[in-house]
Amino acid sequence: MYKIWIDEAGRGPWLWSVVACALCFNPEAMPPKEFLSKMTDSKQLTEKKREELFKELVEMSKSSPPVRGKLEGGLPQVFFWVWVVDNHVIDEINIKQANKEAMRRAIVELLRKVDKEKIASVLVDWKDNYKFDELDRQPVYIIGWDAKVTEISAASIIAKVFRDKLMSTYGELYPDLGIESHKWYGTKKHREYLNDKSKITSIHRVSYKPVKAILEAKPKLLLHICCWPDATVPIMDLKDKYDITCFWYDPNIQPKSEYDKRLEHFKKVCEIEKVPYIEWPYDVENFFLKIKGLENTPEKWEKCTQCYDIRLQKTSELAVELGIKYWTTTLNISPHKDVEKLFKLWDKHSLKNNLEFLKIAFRKNKGFERSVEYTKKHKIYRQNYCWCIYSDTFPKDYKLDK
């Protein structure tokens, strides 16, 4: 009589398939005792030892050819079958049902090798209590017998090595995934690798909560803020699609009291819209250094271009530091800014830092008018000129911080 034992590999990993093995020893040609004594839970064996035992089990499953003086060859000592259910099926029917299907198909194929009427028992090393129509005698479910029962150990070894061999091939197809370091599980390294949805591969189980959360997560966006009124419309338009972090960097504002007032109302807008922000220290000295020799050039000319550039350079560098791929700025919401010059600077810093800039003309769709309405509604302070000391409209009677 045959005793069938079933085990699986790959239930917990975030990647690829679940593999089930149904196995029984041939009662008419049992493997030698010295071999059986080597069997234990596959997880307790070294990779090398599992490979050796796997090869021996495969050889024992083959009929030996006839020899001189005998009509028949040697009988197989082991009968087994392996079935694979991939990650796409797992995502469709869930891991519990996929595991059952892998076991069911392994049983179906094993029944082609052994007489169904001679099956004494079917045992499964798990607790799901699946019912299989293909069996007259339903399985008995046990837990933690991998190391206690020789047949369960053998099934465990075959399932794991079979899956490992296939996964090593995927490791070659996805070398950046680092399969060898996390062995497909949700380890710290695996989580760190999956820092955005572009890293999720065709073999990931997208129904698993951690992977699903990454897929559904909004892409991170660093939004440079030049002043709080201009920030209102971009934040409102982008926050439903992106996980926004606002970056306050406005080095040309004079005097410091005006800078502080603007910063205070910028924070108020972020609190209203419930978005995080990063405040950069007042950087007026760097501004003067950047435009040195250009002080007397007209507005919208090279002086202003350098002012745009210093802000975009700082923003792109911060995006790299924070690991944020997408970035943009509120500079272009104002009708007083030269959009063509801004686009050229965006391309320069995006290419240099391998970033993706959102070329959104926020001034379209009445962006400027909407920002005016917002500031009135929420009582946000709104300046009426640039407050650069070289601006044509800067009040000349202010004491400067130069």
**Averaged pLDDT, 284-301:** 89
129 lies in the same domain as 258: no
Query: Is the Cβ–Cβ distance between 41 and 136 less than 8 Å?
Result: no
Do residue 298 and residue 245 come from a single domain? yes
> Considering the domain boundaries, does residue 232 fall inside one?
yes
- Residue 184: Cβ-neighbour burial (10 angstroms; 0-12, 13-18, 19+): buried
User: Are residues 394 and 386 in contact, defined by beta-carbon separation less than 8 angstroms?
Assistant: yes
pLDDT at 124 over 60: yes
Strand order through the sheet with 277-279: 277-279, 243-248, 220-225, 326-329, 356-357
Q: Is residue 28 part of a domain?
A: yes
> Tens digit of pLDDT for each residue in 75-118?
899 999 999 999 999 999 999 999 999 999 999 999 999 999 99
Quick one: average pLDDT of 122-148? Answer: 83
Q: Which range of residues forms the domain containing residue 86?
A: 2-66+74-177
Residues 356 and 264 placed together within one structural domain of the fold: yes
Residue 386 lies in a domain: no
Please report whether residue 395 resides in a domain. Answer: no
Angstrom distance (rounded) from CA 129 to CA 233: 57
Overall number of domains in the chain:
2
Q: Of the candidates 143, 177, 211, which is a domain's last residue?
A: 177
| pLDDT digits 0-9 by tens, 44-82 | 888 899 999 999 999 999 986 555 545 455 789 999 999
pLDDT digits (tens, 9 = 90+) for 231-276: 788 898 899 999 999 999 999 988 888 889 889 988 988 999 999 9
173 and 239, same domain (yes or no): no
Rounded to two decimals, what is the model's pTM?
0.67
Q: Are residues 236 and 107 in the same domain?
A: no
Average pLDDT, the chain: 87
Q: What is the mean pLDDT of residues 276-291?
A: 93
pLDDT in tens, 317-351: 999 999 999 999 888 766 666 777 888 888 999 99
- 393 CB-near residues (< 8 Å, 6+ apart): 384, 385, 386
Q: Same domain, yes or no, for 280 and 373?
A: yes
203 assigned to some structural domain: no
Alpha-carbon torsion (230, 279, 245, 306), positive or negative: positive
Q: Within this chain, do residues 149 and 254 fall inside the same structural domain, yes or no?
A: no
Query: Same structural domain for residues 27 and 148?
Result: yes
Q: Is residue 26 situated within a structural domain?
A: yes
Domain of 333, CATH number, reads 3.40.50.620
Band of residue 38 on the pLDDT scale cut at 50, 70, 90: confident
**Can you tell me the mean pLDDT for 196-216?**
92
| Dihedral of alpha carbons 273, 276, 281, 284, sign | negative
- Angle between helical axes of 302-322 and 339-353 (0-180°, round to 10): 30
Looking up residue 34, the CATH number of its domain turns out to be 3.30.420.10
Percent of all residues in the chain with a pLDDT value above 70, rounded to a whole number: 92
Beta bridge partners of 85: 18
